[in-house]
Every structure is written in structure tokens, then in C-alpha cells.
Amino acid sequence: MRANPTARPFYKGRSTDLRRAAALVAALALPGCAGENLFTGSATVDQGPQVEITAPATNTGVAAGDSVQVTANITGPRGLSQVTFTGAFTAGGTAFTAQTVTLANPPDTTVSRFMKRSGATTGNATIIVEATDALGDKGADTVAVVLN
């Protein structure tokens, strides 16, 4: 039997393109792999600051004209430079006046500030405490409050 005369023409680099395509498909499928961790060793994971808001409790009510005390525990393996306290309504907009605190060296591991409401609007809001380390990496925690 004779070879098909309409076969696809061969061009230089075709097998290289196929190998690249196969490698790309494998790389895209890898994050979805549910198998065992194939990588072992003693690699160190470089983590930014850790933040844990300890007060106020979730869904604490804040009346118009009141302030709320926000307390957070912060740690950072590379030192901490500042902490920012902000508050936003769930639907958008500013709920509390933002405050940025520059930390002394060595920094405190517990930071507390009174946050004042920035208006008379009521609704659900989120308080955000964000810590920044000496290299500029950030870590944050949030707590939901009710402005009534």
C-alpha cells in the first residue's frame, strides 16, 4: 500500500512545539493534583506579619458618635514597622477614621487603638488591622461590627 500523499508536511521544530505544549498542559494540571506532596526537604517558608484581632468581638454594636477599642496581637519574623487600623462598610465607603501607628524598635506585640466612626451612616462594617514588616510585606485580620 502506498503512503498518503496528503499527509501533513513536516517542518523543523514540530516535535519541539509538541513537547512544549505537553509540558504546558502538565504544568497547568499540576495545581489540581490531589496526590501526595512530591517535594521534600527543609525549605523555609518566608511569611509576612501575622495579625489577630482580639477585640472587639464579632458583630459588636457601635452607636452613632461612639468609638470602639480595637486590640490586635501582631508578630513578624523580620520585624514590624507599622500597623494600620481602617474600617469600611460591607457595601463600600468609610466607616471609621483610619489610623496608622509607627512601631518602636523592638515593636509591641499587642497594639490597641480607639477607632471613631466617620459619620452617622448605619449598617454592617468591617474593621481591618494590617501590619507591615521591615521588608514591606503585609498581613491582616478583620472583624465584622454593626453600626447602629
Respond yes or no on whether the N-terminal peptide bond of residue 5 is cis (omega within 30° of 0). no
Respond yes or no on whether the N-terminal peptide bond of residue 9 is cis (omega within 30° of 0). no
CATH number at residue 130: 2.60.40.2550
Alpha-carbon distances of 131 from 57, 107, 128, 141, rounded to whole Å: 20, 11, 10, 9
Residue 55: inside a domain: yes
Average pLDDT over residues 101-117: 86
Please give the residue that has the higher pLDDT: either 134 or 7. Answer: 134
Task: Tell me the whole-structure pTM to 2 decimals.
Answer: 0.68
Residue 26: inside a domain: no
Q: Is the pLDDT of residue 38 over 60?
A: no
Q: Is the pLDDT of residue 7 over 60?
A: no
What is the count of structural domains for the chain? 1
Amino acid in position 26:
A
Residue 27, pLDDT score: 56
pLDDT tier for residue 127 given thresholds of 50, 70 and 90? very high
Residue 83, pLDDT score: 95
Q: Is the pLDDT of residue 32 over 60?
A: no
Q: Which domain holds residue 72?
A: 50-147
Residue 70: inside a domain: yes
Residue 57, pLDDT score: 95
Residue 27: inside a domain: no
Residue 42: inside a domain: no
Residue 6: inside a domain: no
